[in-house]
Structure 1
Amino acid sequence: MTQSMVKIFKWLTHPIFVFVGLQIVWLTIVILWVVWFLGQQETLENVKKIIGTTSGVNPNIGVFSLVIGCVLLGIILVGTILLFVFTQVQSGLLRQQKSFVSSVTHELRSPLASLQLSFETLQRHKLQEVTREKIFGMVNKDLERLSLLVERILIAGRLDKGIIDYKNGQDEIEVKDTIHHVMAQQLHLDPKLDSRVKINCSDSLVIQGSRLGFAIVIGNLLENAVKYSPPDSPISVQVDIKDYEIWIEIEDHGMGLSKKEQRKVFKLFHRSPRAQARAVPGTGLGLYIVRSVSLSMGGRIWVESEGIGKGCRFTVALSRSSVLSY
């Protein structure tokens, strides 16, 4: 009984229910105001008939009062709507920021715990050289994960302020080699990644741009493909030259996205509720960074998905003028 009462109370105090209730109250007030005004007009007419004169009575005064009253109530109504929308937006941002802090804390805890365990093992035990080298390799990977996380947070902060350090990059990027190099950095997510990812790209394709920016884009998209798809499921990277653009498509067979999620997926701090429910690691920064970097390189990005559970295909399109050879 108590739980049902709590649920009813939460439902009654939900912002949307309160907002709808307020609108009903305002509309009721407007209707009562009009009814009262019409009644007053009838009373005024009766008084005029009894007195038998119209001196000092201006019929336009009542209409003007009604219009002014309705305008004031309309202004209050619009103000209430704007206040509600603003409050909802701020509440959404606050929830996203709290989720971000929680996600970052979780992302930091895992490599830090691994580092602590590795150092304790090195200190307390006399280990063979092979074992020590293996542990040092694990330490190096954990440090790379921490560095990547911190770098991602710093990049998102700079992009949010409009600061782009690599906007005018003029590097010569060997596309296929760079994709292989970025993929090697994701092996901590899945040691079998080499066998899962199929790269279809010309060996001689070279483009001009920011090597760092290109690596950030490919790295984030590959990381998402690994995290949001089942183990051992295939991931494809397709690079094609279209009429005016070069397209880089990364496709997985994972969780997929609804139409609504596809519109929100590139927003800062956004994370899919299904990903959070399944405790998939992430910070909500990756795709925001991918979109910002793609735009800074003169390109564009979009996502396609047939629905929940049917995978995703992210496409990055860069200007064909950046192609040096293929």
Structure 2
Amino acid sequence: MKSRLLVYKKLDFLKKYSLKFLFISFVGIHIPLLGIILYLISVEKNEVTPLEIIILALILTLVATSITLFLLNELLKPLKMIQEGLDQYIQTKQLPDLPEHYQDELGQVMSKLQNTLEQLQHLLDEKHDLIALLSHDLRSPVNQIKGLVALLQDSEEELQQEYLQVMDGLCTQHATLLSEVLFMLKQEEENTAHKVFEYVDLIKLLDECIQEHHTSLEKKDVSVSLTSSVDNVQVNMERTFFQQAIRNLLENAIKFSFPKGAIDIRVETVSDQLQIHIRDYGMGFKPEVAHQLFDKFTRQGKKGTFNEPSTGLGLHLTKKIIEQHIGRVEASSEGQGKGATFTIRLTQWKSMSKTMDVFSVEN
């Protein structure tokens, strides 16, 4: 499609679409005048007759009109491309390939339209993935619970407790999945609206997340230490989403920690970058699969040390949230059984003091 815009591309030095039309019209209007002037210069004046001037003017006007109409039609091709691209997407859901580098008004329209259609397609893909997830993973636990209820009614008393524990685990898995799906839908909805960012005390927020998980930490007898080499560090964030990202990483660390294990949360700076490290000493993973952990519905998901379920959504959500905060999140591990470290790297932060005093919280 882009190869069709030869004339539009040649006139890209004019930064306004209206100037392109004006330039072509100006050239078209002056072709007859320039032609007549050149003709008069090239011949003797006494050899020129009025009839010749009239005929030449008519011919040059016809030529200029044809050239001008052709060029104006070429200049309208971006509009035709936009129409064809929209028709193509509506009929086949195939994304057009509109150019995005032109600077005039129409170029900006093409760029924004291309980006909008790509985002729309991404949302549609997300919707299809969620439908597939809901149709399978939400229906399966319900059927399992129904089967267990039937077994429970006819089972001996010593088996009933076992069945009830299985049902409790299925309900927990069901609730976790619903929570993450609903949060993903909420995030996609919030992406279309204006988010309110503010500077929030990072240490206080991390401490709140630790306290929220007191029960699950106590259940595994896992301790958490929080240290910071930056005093009174403030991060520019949308609090609800950023806190959810921290929760996801902390829940992940707890899930894969061994009983009586430990989790270290460390805040530090490297150059102008703020880093948050969340390290556990649990199950770990093979180093070569680190990048796959953040894929949606990743196959690298596995059950925790207490058979906690994995939905394959938590780390994917975390990655998206951190990227929306102009940061990135990375995972590393020395291997299975050697723990894992998840690191958030941020650039939008400030500190009221540059001292290196250590702030520590023990769970």
Q: Tell me the distance in 1 between the aligned counterparts of 2:257 and 2:349.
A: 32
1:297 aligns with 2:325: yes
| 8 Å contact from structure 2 (residues 258, 281) kept in 1 | yes
Equivalent residue number for residue 170 of structure 1: 197
In the TM superposition, 1:1-326 aligns within 5 A as: 101-102=136-137, 150-159=178-187, 163-164=190-191, 168-191=195-218, 196-201=223-228, 202=230, 204-272=232-300, 274-275=302-303, 279-319=307-347, 321-326=348-353
Q: Tell me the distance in 1 between the aligned counterparts of 2:350 and 2:262.
A: 28
- CA gap of 1:103–1:255, structure 2 versus 1, over 3 A, is farther
- CA gap of 1:255–1:210, structure 2 versus 1, over 3 A, is same
| Percent identity (aligned) | 23
Of residues 209-218 and 270-279 in structure 1, the stretch that sits farther from structure 2 once superposed is 270-279
Larger radius of gyration: 2
**Which AA in structure 2 matches 1:156?**
M
Per the alignment, in what secondary structure is the counterpart of residue 236 of structure 1? strand
| 8 Å contact from structure 1 (residues 167, 297) kept in 2 | no
Per the alignment, in what secondary structure is the counterpart of residue 218 of structure 1? helix
- CA gap of 1:171–1:192, structure 2 versus 1, over 3 A, is farther
Structure 2, gaps ≥5 residues long: 1-127, 146-171, 354-363
Q: Tell me the distance in 2 between the aligned counterparts of 1:178 and 1:194.
A: 22
- Give, in angstroms, the shift of residue 171 of structure 1: 2.1
- CA gap of 1:255–1:166, structure 2 versus 1, over 3 A, is farther
Q: Show CA shifts across 1:45-100 (max 9, x none).
A: xxxxxxxxxxxxxxxxxxxxxxxxxxxxxxxxxxxxxxxxxxxxxxxx98x95699
Of residues 290-299 and 144-153 in structure 1, the stretch that sits farther from structure 2 once superposed is 144-153
| 8 Å contact from structure 1 (residues 171, 210) kept in 2 | yes
Equivalent residue number for residue 46 of structure 1: none
Q: Tell me the distance in 2 between the aligned counterparts of 1:167 and 1:182.
A: 25
TM-score when scaled to structure 1? 0.51
- Give, in angstroms, the shift of residue 278 of structure 1: 7.4
- CA gap of 1:181–1:234, structure 2 versus 1, over 3 A, is same
**Which AA in structure 2 matches 1:322?**
W
- Give, in angstroms, the shift of residue 163 of structure 1: 5.0
- CA gap of 1:215–1:273, structure 2 versus 1, over 3 A, is closer
- CA gap of 1:245–1:167, structure 2 versus 1, over 3 A, is farther
**Which AA in structure 1 matches 2:340?**
C
- Give, in angstroms, the shift of residue 162 of structure 1: 7.8
| 8 Å contact from structure 1 (residues 264, 270) kept in 2 | yes
- Give, in angstroms, the shift of residue 324 of structure 1: 4.6
Number of residue-to-residue matches in the alignment: 200
- CA gap of 1:98–1:147, structure 2 versus 1, over 3 A, is closer
- The structure showing larger relative contact order (alpha-carbon pairs under 8 Å, at least 6 residues apart) is 1
- Give, in angstroms, the shift of residue 157 of structure 1: 3.2
- CA gap of 1:268–1:176, structure 2 versus 1, over 3 A, is same
Per the alignment, in what secondary structure is the counterpart of residue 258 of structure 2? coil
- CA gap of 1:235–1:316, structure 2 versus 1, over 3 A, is same
Q: Tell me the distance in 1 between the aligned counterparts of 2:293 and 2:209.
A: 22
| 8 Å contact from structure 2 (residues 200, 236) kept in 1 | yes
- CA gap of 1:219–1:251, structure 2 versus 1, over 3 A, is same
**Which AA in structure 1 matches 2:212?**
Q
Q: Show CA shifts across 1:144-165 (max 9, x none).
A: 9998754421232355x58527
| 8 Å contact from structure 1 (residues 166, 210) kept in 2 | no
CA RMSD of aligned residues (A): 4.0
- Give, in angstroms, the shift of residue 274 of structure 1: 4.6
Q: Tell me the distance in 2 between the aligned counterparts of 1:277 and 1:196.
A: 16
| 8 Å contact from structure 2 (residues 263, 280) kept in 1 | yes
